[in-house]
Amino acid sequence: MQFLDYLVFVTYFVIVASYGYWIYHQKRKTELDSKAFFLAEGSLTWWAIGASLIASNISAEQFIGMSGEGFFVGIAISCYEWIAAVSLIIIAVYFMPVYLKNHIYTMPQFLTRRYNETAALIMAVFWLFLYVVVNLTSILYLGSVAINGLVGGESLHTILLGLAFFALIITLGGMKVIGYTDVIQVAVLIIGGLATTYLALDIVAHSYGADGAIAGFKMLMDKAPDHFHMIFDKPTAASSQEEISKYLIMPGILMYVAGQWIVNLNYWGCNQYITQRALGADLQTARTGILFAAFLKLLMPVIVMLPGIAAFVLAKSGNLPDLVNKDHAYSAILGFLPTGLKGLSVAALTAAIVASLAGKANSISTIFTLDIYKKYFNKEASEVKQVWVGRATVVVAMLISIFFTWSDFLGIGGVGGFTYIQKYTGFISPGVFAMFILGMFWKRTTGTAAVAGIFTGFILSVVFNNYAPTWFGNDTLLYTAYPNGRGGYEIPFLLCMALSFFFTVAVMVALSLAGPKDNPKAFEIDRGMFKINMSSRVLIMAILMILAALYVKFW
């Protein structure tokens, strides 16, 4: 990076910090109101909700991890973004009315009202552990590694501390500051990301004697045809280890049976980190914001996946001979960018990282303060006390993530950032999603079934991911395990999620049928809750038509 790059980056930092301070100054009268601090209740517009959802979701996990998987498996990894668009439609139409009608502000609160305190406490602890140890830590690690590679490779710990401190400042201002600074963050993210993709395609074109981004995209399809298929064939005895490894990540059509839907519906609909943005708004504002986010999700693979394929083609042609780690693909592409634009791209990457860190830290703070501290340590805590506990929680969570990140204690760099997050999040996703979906839409589900579902989903996920091939064999009626290239056999983790989910639902249904027919804690559901206006219908149809065209083209 040159002086102009640093100037662009500092300008971005000053704009975000100044705007965040202005937002904080505007709300000084409510800064010590707990619902204003944690939820920005009633103050986020639909476009702020939609932008904040995307800014918080798109992070180093996508820029670094998904680009890395683009380098390895290609466009198939886009299903995480494109199926997310459909999932967001489902959340907007069916989940949000249930949450808002029942005045749900946190996910443990949902479990308390629908089931019991035991289920809520268990999941609050699960979520806190997951958010701090898996999500916060991996975002910080991947972001630090990427930016460090761009500024010379000798400042990892300084960058790590800088990202954590920047996110900390924004988080301590509360959800309103996070939400509105995310509008700037997502604008920088999209502009910088699109500029990076455009130039990456142009660089590919030049490397083969052509010119322009369109020619570069055609060159990608010509030089890496295997990277432009959404569905992988099931491996055979003649398949190479590379083909098997790709299938373990993206197991063909089978991953659409349940695994991919569990990932997305659980992440977007049962996740404090995400739903928190919409829980303080009215239903129409929340719905419009979520649908706006769904539309933006269709664009995300262009920004976070295509540079990975471009890096693959450039490495294949000898233009990136030192690129051996897939998680370095995105930063390798940024190395080609001209002065000034490199600074903008680093700003986009930083915006994604900081927005995600801030959003995750705020969710950690919300769950700990409202669902653990206020319930079990100080039931009479004042509004001011809750806000200060929330801020202290943010600081502690960030310090823990710095500790785990400092020397990659969890080995995130060894398995690939995107796969690490998806796999370990998947240990609790089946049980959580089963609890929520049955709790919302089947009145007979009991609290006993919910608690059983938590443990059943987790235990089965561990068994299928780590022990099933050894215990039951590599080829059974339920699954086929494949060599993982490290001396063992694995079931694709998306299929593990599906199997865990189906068995968890079966256990929960059986236990609920053994309970009372009339459950006094069941939510009242009526069809009128799910009616949508004409503008929402048009937007939904547009999203589905674009998605159908993409799958027809790249099947």
Token pair recorded at residue 260: 């991919």
Ramachandran bin of 475, using left for φ above 0, alpha for ψ from -120 to 50, beta for the remaining angles: beta
Q: Please check whether residue 548 lies inside any domain of the structure.
A: yes
Q: Tens of pLDDT along 44-69? A: 788 878 887 887 777 766 777 788 88
- Is 361 inside a domain boundary? yes
pLDDT over 80 at 272, yes or no:
no
Please give the pLDDT value at position 123.
84
Out of 34-43, 54-63, 352-361, 445-454, pick the least confident. Answer: 34-43
Domain-embedded: residue 56: yes
Q: Is residue 97 part of a domain?
A: yes
Q: What is the widest separation between alpha-carbon atoms in the chain?
A: 72
Confidence check: pLDDT of 369 > 90: no
Task: Quote the pLDDT of residue 126.
Answer: 84
Cα–Cα distance, 481 to 311 (Å, whole number): 30
pLDDT score of 420: 65
User: Quick one: pLDDT at residue 504?
Assistant: 95
Tell whether 453 is covered by a domain. Answer: no
Question: What is the distance between the alpha carbons of residues 2 and 342, in angstroms, rounded to a whole number?
Answer: 9
Taking residue 423's Cβ as centre, other Cβ atoms within 10 Å add up to 19
| C-alpha–C-alpha distance, residues 361 and 172, integer Å | 9
Q: Could you give the CA distance from residue 58 to residue 302 in angstroms, rounded to a whole number?
A: 13
What average pLDDT score do residues 251-270 get?
86
Average pLDDT on 272-299 reads 83
Across 454-478, average pLDDT: 91
Structure confidence at residue 327 (pLDDT): 72
Q: Residue 320 — pLDDT band, cuts 50, 70, 90?
A: confident
pLDDT of 78 > 80? The answer is yes
> How many domains does the chain fold into?
1
Percentage of the chain modeled with pLDDT above 70 = 90
Spatial CB neighbours of 316, under 8 Å, sequence gap ≥ 6: 223, 224
Interval 214-230 mean pLDDT: 89
The residue that leads in pLDDT, 382 or 549, is 549
The answer to whether residue 34 scores a pLDDT higher than 70 is: no
Domain interval for residue 283: 3-22+34-40+51-425+525-554
The CA-based dihedral angle spanning residues 496, 499, 502, 508, taken in that order and rounded to the nearest 10 degrees: -70
Give the mean pLDDT of 123-149: 81
The pLDDT value given to residue 464: 92
pLDDT at 419 exceeding the cut of 80: no
pLDDT for 87: 93
CATH code, 407: 1.20.1730.10
* Mean pLDDT lowest among 201-215, 265-279, 282-296: 265-279
Q: Please, what is the angle between helix 429-441 and helix 493-513, to 10°?
A: 40
Give pLDDT, residue 381: 80
Q: Which two tokens stand for residue 13?
A: 């930092």
Residue 500 in this model has a pLDDT that exceeds 90: yes
Residue 493 lies in a domain: no
* Predicted confidence band of residue 41 (pLDDT cuts 50, 70, 90): low
What is the average pLDDT score of the chain?
Answer: 83
Task: Please tell me which residue, 550 or 138, carries the higher pLDDT value.
Answer: 550
pLDDT at 345 over 80: no
What mean pLDDT do residues 220-242 have? 87
Q: Any residues with CB less than 8 A from the CB of 280 and at least 6 apart, and which? A: 35, 39, 40, 41, 42, 43, 44, 105, 175
- Distance between CA atoms of residues 53 and 334, nearest Å: 25
Of 158-162, 319-323, 506-510, highest mean pLDDT: 506-510
DSSP letter string, 156-190: HHHHHHHHHHHHHHHHHT-HHHHHHHHHHHHHHHH
pLDDT tier, 27 (very low <50, low <70, confident <90, very high otherwise): low
* DSSP states along 229-294: -SSPPPP-TT--HHHHHHHHHS-GGGGGTTHHHHHHHHHHHS-HHHHTTTTTS-HHHHHHHHHHHH
Q: What share of the chain has pLDDT > 90, as a percent?
A: 17
Q: Does the residue 28 lie in any domain?
A: no
Segment holding 212, helix H or strand E: none
Output 300-303 pairs: Cβ under 8 A, ≥24 positions apart. 300/54, 300/58, 300/62, 300/81, 301/66, 301/75, 301/77, 301/78, 301/81, 301/82, 302/193, 302/194, 302/197, 303/58, 303/63, 303/189, 303/190, 303/193, 303/194, 303/196, 303/197
CA distance 10 to 347: 9
220 or 424: which leads in pLDDT: 220
Encode 2-37: b = buried (16+ Cβ within 10 Å), e = exposed: eeebeebbeebbeebeeebeebbeebeebbbbbbbb
What pLDDT band is residue 39 in, cutting at 50, 70 and 90?
low
pLDDT in tens, 540-555: 999 999 999 999 988 8
Specify the pLDDT at position 299: 87
The closest of 356, 470, 522, 406 to 156, measured between CA atoms, is 406
- 468 within domain boundaries: no
Report yes or no: 293 and 50 within 8 Å, Cβ to Cβ: yes
Say if residues 65 and 139 touch (Cβ distance below 8 Å): no
Residue 119 CA neighbour count, 13 Å, CB half: 27
Residue 138's pLDDT band (cuts 50, 70, 90):
confident
